[in-house]
Structure 1
Amino acid sequence: MTWLQAIILGIVQGLTEFLPISSSGHLRIVSGIFFGDDAGASFTAVTQLGTEAAVLIYFARDIFRIIVAWFRGLFDAAQRDLDYRMGWYVIIATIPIGVLGFLFKDQIRTGARNLWLIATMLIVFAVVIAAAERFSRKERPIEQLTTRDGLAMGFAQCLALIPGVSRSGATSSAGLFAGLTRAAAVRFSFLLAIPAVTASGLFSLPDAFTPSGEGLSASGPQLLVATIVAFILGYASIAWLLKFVVDHSLYWFVGYRIVLGVTVMGLLATGVVSAT
């Protein structure tokens, strides 16, 4: 991997991680179309550490409050408020993706990165997101979040193991289908991603530094720079998205996903780009 490629992929990661358009899908598409090869699942997972660092800083007060409330509530039932419950919701909702991510780690790094599959998922989940916007009530604030909501969003997060689905798109859609407001669904989606993405990035570090097989290989310094770039742009995109969803629907991203998916399919069908 060249320095230019590493920086470009860091930019792509930072701009797309929190939008419901699939950052892993975009990294695979960009590296395949413009660089003629795959940057790999490990590169994606490691650079996501940069965007998750942005989440940790942006939501630092919320995270600290939830952690304190969770520990306090463990020993004092009278202290079990919303923040205490939120801590449990994140923990419980993270279990499904932890189990499935470990069981299917080899498939995630190989077959799941086929561009035909990614293009298909972009289109299919564009329909899912549109349906969530169209048919959800969007009445319940985050204060009314329940264990059932957390589990639903947790299982939806598992779908993001397939590039092209989008973690934020899947979890936010599940939240909308559960009747949460758009702002509540997106906010919990951010918090829910922290343990799963952080664990995935740390788990992938050895593979990223000593990659095996074909594909683009980044050096340690390149990975570091790409991750820093992803952090800076990721922080900016969090602030933008949280403000955007207050007054705008997710329909804005539906059309983009469909156009991108159809474009990739066209490039694949004409042999311009290889699916693997």
Structure 2
Amino acid sequence: MLWYHIVFLSVIQGLTEFLPISSSAHLILPAQLLHWPDQGLAFDVAVHVGTLIAIVGYFRKDIIQIIVAWFASLVSRQSTSDSRLGWWICLATLPAGVAGVLFDDFISEHLRSLEVIAYATIGFGVLLWLSDRFGASDKSEAEFGIKSVLFIGFAQALALIPGTSRSGITMTAARTLGFTRESAAKFSFLLSIPLILAAGGLKSVELVASNLVVDWVGIFMGVVLSAISAYLCIYLFLKWLNKIGFFPFFVYRLILGSILLCIVYI
């Protein structure tokens, strides 16, 4: 990979991992549209580490409180809002984890096309806007329950389809259930941690087993740039979300999906 490939893909990964516009689609597109070389397994591990550093760094106080309360609930059997949030994150992660194990090979072979990405980008973008435009906004994080968490968890499993957006579909599900934008976004971000850990861990195991020659300078650049861009993205997104809503992301997805359909059919 050339240096500007590394810079572009690292920043794109950092920005799109947490914005509701699909990171997988944006990482697939440069290779298909610009004929860039595939970024490779080592680089995938690097940008996963970078985004994990960003999300853990931003929510470090919340994460520590949740972990401490979760372990305390195992010992004392007493439930608090933080311990329940820890259990909800575990529960909501299960559907995507099971779906990933069962369908990852099928998705990799059959759904990583421009056409699928285009339709998913538009379709799930419409759902995001509808849920934000017509959904209620009266529920906080304290009102998560088993049914709502499972609904969000099963929605998250759909993010295995390239173009869906993991953050986008989980926020869509939460907004559909009436949670505020801030609550939907925060839960979506915290929910990303187990999946990023799992994905990064699996790719790391594959990398070690592959005996590939690693460009450590490129890896370091990928980690640093994706971490910085992801941290800034989280900060700005949460700061502006209540002012701008999800409509700009719907418009972006509509434009991007339309361009991709033109490329496919024209």
TM-score by structure 1 length? 0.89
* CA 224–100 in structure 1, closer or farther in 2 if over 3 Å, else same: farther
- In structure 1, the residue matched to 2:202 is 203
Q: How does 1:45-84 map to 2 (within 5 A)?
A: 46-77=46-77, 79-84=78-83
| 2:229 match | 233
Alignment pair present for 1:223 and 2:222: no
Aligned to 2:130: 131
Q: 1:42 to 1:133 in 2, by over 3 A?
A: farther
- 2:90 aligned residue: 91
- In structure 2, the partner of 1:8 is 8
- The secondary structure found in structure 1 opposite 2:138 is coil
Aligned match of 1:269 = 265
> In 2, distance between residues paired with 1:92 and 1:46?
27
Give the secondary-structure state (helix, strand or coil) at the position aligned to 1:21.
coil
Offset, 1:30:
2.4
- Answer whether contact 2:42 2:219 (CA < 8 A) is retained: no
Task: Tell me, yes or no, if structure 1 residue 249 matches structure 2 residue 245.
Answer: yes
| Alignment check: 8 A CA contact 1:52 1:194 kept | yes
Instruction: State how far apart, in whole Å, the 1-side matches of 2:21 and 2:128 are.
Output: 10
Q: 2:52–2:196: 8 Å Cα contact kept in structure 1?
A: yes
1:51·1:231 contact (CA, 8 Å) conserved in 2?
Answer: yes
Q: Greater CA deviation, 57-66 or 96-105?
A: 96-105
| Alpha-carbon distance between aligned partners in 2 of 1:7 and 1:210, rounded to the nearest angstrom | 27
Q: Report SS of the residue matched to 1:110.
A: helix
Change (3 A) 1:3 1:50: same
Q: Who is 2:146 aligned against?
A: 147
1:117-196 aligned at under 5 Å gives the runs 117-196=116-195
How far apart are residue 44 of structure 1 and its match? Answer: 4.2
Aligned-partner Cα distance in 1 for 2:210–2:223: 17
Do the aligned partners of residues 252 and 59 (structure 1) sit closer, same or farther apart at CA in structure 2, a change above 3 Å counting?
A: same
Paired AA for residue 3 in structure 2:
W
Tell me which amino acid in the other structure corresponds to 1:261. Answer: G
Distance in 2 (CA, whole Å) between partners of 1:238 and 1:93 is: 21
Instruction: Judge which range, 38-47 or 11-20, deviates more.
Output: 38-47
Q: Secondary structure at the match of 1:113?
A: coil
Deviation at 1:114, TM superposition (A): 0.9
SS of match in other structure, 1:163: coil
Instruction: Give the number of aligned pairs.
Output: 265
Deviation string 1:7-63 (CA, Å, 9 cap, x unpaired) is 211111112111100011111112322234544688546522311210001101000
Equivalent position amino acid for 1:198 in 2: L
Question: Residue type matched to 2:228 in 1?
Answer: I
Is the Cα–Cα contact under 8 Å of residues 140 and 180 in structure 1 kept in the other structure?
yes
Could you tell me which residue of structure 2 aligns to residue 29 of structure 1?
A: 29
User: Does the 8 Å CA contact 2:43/2:222 hold for their aligned counterparts?
Assistant: no
Alignment gaps of 5+ in structure 2: none
Contact 1:27 1:44 in 2 (8 A): no
Once structures 1 and 2 are overlaid, which stretch shifts more, 256-265 or 32-41? 32-41
**CA RMSD after TM alignment:** 2.2
Partners of 1:135 and 1:45 in 2: how far apart?
38
Q: 1:258 aligns with which of 233, 237, 254?
A: 254
Whether the 8 Å contact between 1:43 and 1:208 is mirrored in structure 2 is: no
- Aligned partners of 2:32 and 2:209: how far apart in 1? 21
Give the match's secondary structure for 2:34.
helix
Secondary structure of 1:18's match? coil
Change (3 A) 1:211 1:74: closer
- Partners of 1:41 and 1:32 lie apart in 2 by 17
